[in-house]
């Protein structure tokens, strides 16, 4: 019987050796393949980023081509010169609107609205936004009709105009 036990131990020992060798081979193969696989995934990620960058650049090129076509149009150039530089074509009458120093400038779109009084409840500030004049524009006041009376006499034609 000793020989049967020895044979089973030899088989088990050789099977264990084979398993250890197989595990070592698998580890070596895994370590050998890990570098190229990691490089492959890194390059795929980089390729996706480059494709996104390329798409952005193509969009930018299309916008610049469109702008180039616009800048080749003399009508567009004239409109930009009028708008940006204030140029005037011969025969046009230039004018510029100037507000008085004490005039209230209405808020521009995108600017922050006026802050509400924190002591008031929310419905009071809501009511003020509805009831008050919007954007600093006061409602038109109808002037009182003057009482009928004697009309002032017109100035004689030879008299100088007032203020001059």
Model pLDDT, residue 86: 84
Alpha-carbon distance of 130 to 124, in angstroms, equals: 10
Q: How does pLDDT run across 13-34, given as a tens digit for each residue?
A: 788 888 999 999 999 999 999 9
pLDDT band at 164 (very low <50, low <70, confident <90, very high): very low
Model pLDDT, residue 46: 97
- Give the percent of the chain with pLDDT over 90: 36
Is residue 80 over pLDDT 80?
A: yes
Q: How does pLDDT run across 88-103, given as a tens digit for each residue?
A: 888 988 888 888 888 7
The token pair that represents 31 in the structure block: 């370590």
pLDDT top residue among 156 and 41? 41
**Contact (CB, 8 A) for 157 and 148:** no
The token pair that represents 70 in the structure block: 């616009």
Q: What is the maximal distance between C-alpha atoms in the chain?
A: 155
The token pair that represents 98 in the structure block: 């100037």
CA 28 to mean position of chain CA atoms: 53
């Amino acid at each position: 019987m000793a020989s049967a036990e020895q044979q089973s131990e030899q088989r088990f020992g050789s099977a264990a050796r084979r398993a250890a060798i197989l595990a070592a081979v698998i580890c070596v193969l895994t370590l050998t393949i890990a570098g190229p696989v990691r490089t492959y995934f890194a390059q795929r990620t980089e390729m996706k980023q480059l494709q996104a960058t390329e798409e952005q650049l193509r969009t930018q090129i299309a916008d610049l081509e469109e702008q180039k076509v616009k800048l080749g149009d003399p009508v567009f150039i004239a409109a930009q010169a009028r708008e940006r530089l204030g140029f005037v074509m011969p025969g046009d009458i230039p004018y510029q609107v100037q507000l008085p120093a004490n005039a209230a400038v209405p808020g521009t779109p995108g600017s922050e609205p006026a802050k509400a009084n924190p002591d008031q409840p929310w419905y009071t500030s809501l009511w003020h936004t509805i009831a008050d004049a919007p954007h600093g524009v006061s409602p038109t006041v109808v002037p009182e009709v003057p009482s009928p009376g004697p009309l002032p006499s017109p100035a004689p034609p030879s008299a100088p105009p007032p203020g001059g």
